[in-house]
Amino acid sequence: MQTSTSQEDFLALVEQHKGAIIKVCSLYTRRREEKDDLFQEIVIQLWKAWPNFKGQSKFSTWLYRIALNTAISGLRKKKTEIILMSGEDLPHFPDTDDQKEREEKMRALYDAIQKLPEIDRAVVLLYLEDKNYEEMEDILGISQGTLRVKMNRAKEKLKRNIQTMSYGN
Amino acid sequence: MEIDHLKELWQQQEPEKVPENLGLLLGKKSNGPIAKMKRNLLVELIIVVITYGITIIYFFTAFSGRLNSLAWVYLFIGLVFVVYFARKNKLLNAMECMSCQVRSNLSKQVTVLEKYTRFYLLAGTAIIPLLALYSYLVLIPQSRYVNGSRNLSQGGTSFLLEILIWLGATILLTIAFYYLNKWYVKKLYGNHINKLKLMLEQMED
């Protein structure tokens, strides 16, 4: 049985890192309902694993491992189909003059990442989240040498996907 | 669009709204495939305990206790099922390590899931010859005993022919069940295992 203090600590940490969980959900699902289901599943898995978190690694590293494990192998997808982001699912930015343009760029980025294979998506996510190769290795279990190669390839694929989508529009 | 510029934009995003109060999620059940498999296993166990429990009590008390040997046989089979469920549960517990590195978790899932499906296939196929043997040695003699006939061979069928018919039918049924189980296991887990293997290959590529 976990104590209420432990629960409060856990909730505070998850609240602080919820943005990371939402980003994982956005990259591995498209429908709002699926996104909510995955978010819920990740929080449940984090809570189940919480008693064994002893702080040997950073909380964010531990969180990314669980979130990616849940997204990649934990949930079976019902259907593989590409659905472009709808307005309500667009990433939000603070009100500025170029807000619309930024949101459009982000929409293109999300759509382009979703066309990558699952593992490349994880590599790109960690790059965008500014994780260094050591942290990426710790999360994914891929050697830094292989990660560098994968990263270059994933960025190339991503560029191609973005270009294809721009020309397509 | 330059990737580095997109990276900057990525980090400036404002987090989306969270579905509901986080605390409320903690009491919810997991909907992951392994949690679902564990729940199904528990349902199977409950069904076996109830049906076998009723059958065992029936054979201990019906026919003035003349069939209590059958009750012991059912009790033994029930215990075999408990071992079967315990083995499946152990495999399910070993199947995932969510806080492990992604690659090690994937590799563990593939290895244990393959073990699980082999066990499923073996147990599902082995049950046919065991049931045939059990019917031939216990169920039929007992029912004939209850009906007042002690002869195994009836209607002029020779003992050897009877054995051969049973053996032939058992072999045919076992083969049929093997392929049926193989198809079913592949339908249940085949795609998932292939997907996991593909992702492992992607990691090693």
The interface predicted TM-score (ipTM) is: 0.85
Determine the pLDDT at residue B69: 82
A/B interface, count of CB pairs below 8 Å: 151
Contacts of residue A131 in chain B, CB cutoff 8 Å?
none
Quickly state the pLDDT bin for A89 (edges 50, 70, 90): low
Handedness of CA A54, A56, A60, A65 (dihedral sign): negative
| B22 close contact with A: CB closer than 8 A | yes
Identify which of B3, B28, B101 has the shortest CB distance to residue A139: B101
B177 CA: distance to closest CA in chain A (Å) = 27
Q: Give the pLDDT mean for B125-147.
A: 77
Instruction: Answer yes or no: is pLDDT of B136 > 60.
Output: yes
Instruction: Answer yes or no: is pLDDT of B204 > 90.
Output: no
Q: Give the pLDDT mean for B96-104.
A: 93
Determine the pLDDT at residue B182: 95
| A94 close contact with B: CB closer than 8 A | yes
Backbone angles phi, psi at B74, to 5 degrees: -65, -40
Determine the pLDDT at residue A73: 81
Structure-block tokens of residue B11: 């980090």
- Are A118 and B199 an interchain contact pair (Cβ–Cβ within 8 Å)? yes
Of all residues in chain B, the percent with pLDDT exceeding 90 is 45
Instruction: Answer yes or no: is pLDDT of A144 > 50.
Output: yes
Helix and strand tally (H, E) in chain A? 7, 0
Q: Which of B100-104, B149-153, B157-161 has the least mean pLDDT?
A: B149-153
The amino acid present at A58, given as its one-letter code, is: K
Given a contact cutoff of 8 angstroms between Cβ atoms, the answer to whether B44 and B85 are in contact is: yes
Q: Give the pLDDT mean for A103-132.
A: 92
Determine the pLDDT at residue A91: 62
Quickly state the pLDDT bin for B144 (edges 50, 70, 90): low
**What is the C-alpha to C-alpha distance for residues B184 and B189, in angstroms, rounded to an integer?**
9
Quickly state the pLDDT bin for A168 (edges 50, 70, 90): low
Contacts of residue A76 in chain B, CB cutoff 8 Å?
33, 192
Of all residues in chain A, the percent with pLDDT exceeding 70 is 80
Enter the pTM of the model. 0.83
Show the DSSP H helices in A29-143 as ranges: 32-49, 59-69, 99-114, 118-128, 133-140
The alpha carbon of residue B180 and the mean position of all alpha carbons in its chain are separated, in whole angstroms, by 14
B115 CA: distance to closest CA in chain A (Å) = 17
Given a contact cutoff of 8 angstroms between Cβ atoms, the answer to whether B108 and B94 are in contact is: yes
DSSP code for A86:
P
**What is the C-alpha to C-alpha distance for residues A33 and A39, in angstroms, rounded to an integer?**
10
Q: Which of A123-132, B81-90, B112-121, B151-160 has the least mean pLDDT?
A: B151-160
User: What is the DSSP annotation of B60-85?
Assistant: HHGGGGTTHHHHHHHHHHHHHHHHHH
Determine the pLDDT at residue A4: 67
Structure-block tokens of residue A30: 């498209």
Instruction: Answer yes or no: is pLDDT of B73 > 80.
Output: yes
Determine the pLDDT at residue B143: 67
Determine the pLDDT at residue B197: 94
Q: Give the pLDDT mean for B125-145.
A: 79
**What is the C-alpha to C-alpha distance for residues B144 and B140, in angstroms, rounded to an integer?**
6
Determine the pLDDT at residue B155: 53
Contacts of residue B104 in chain A, CB cutoff 8 Å?
141
Instruction: Answer yes or no: is pLDDT of A83 > 60.
Output: no
Q: Give the pLDDT mean for A66-86.
A: 68
Best mutation target among A47, A70, A73 (most B Cβ atoms within 10 Å) is: A73
Per the model's pLDDT, the better-predicted residue between B2 and B54 turns out to be B54
| A71 close contact with B: CB closer than 8 A | no
CA distances from A67 to A12, A130, B53, B194 (A): 17, 17, 43, 21
Determine the pLDDT at residue A97: 65
End-to-end CA distance of chain A: 54
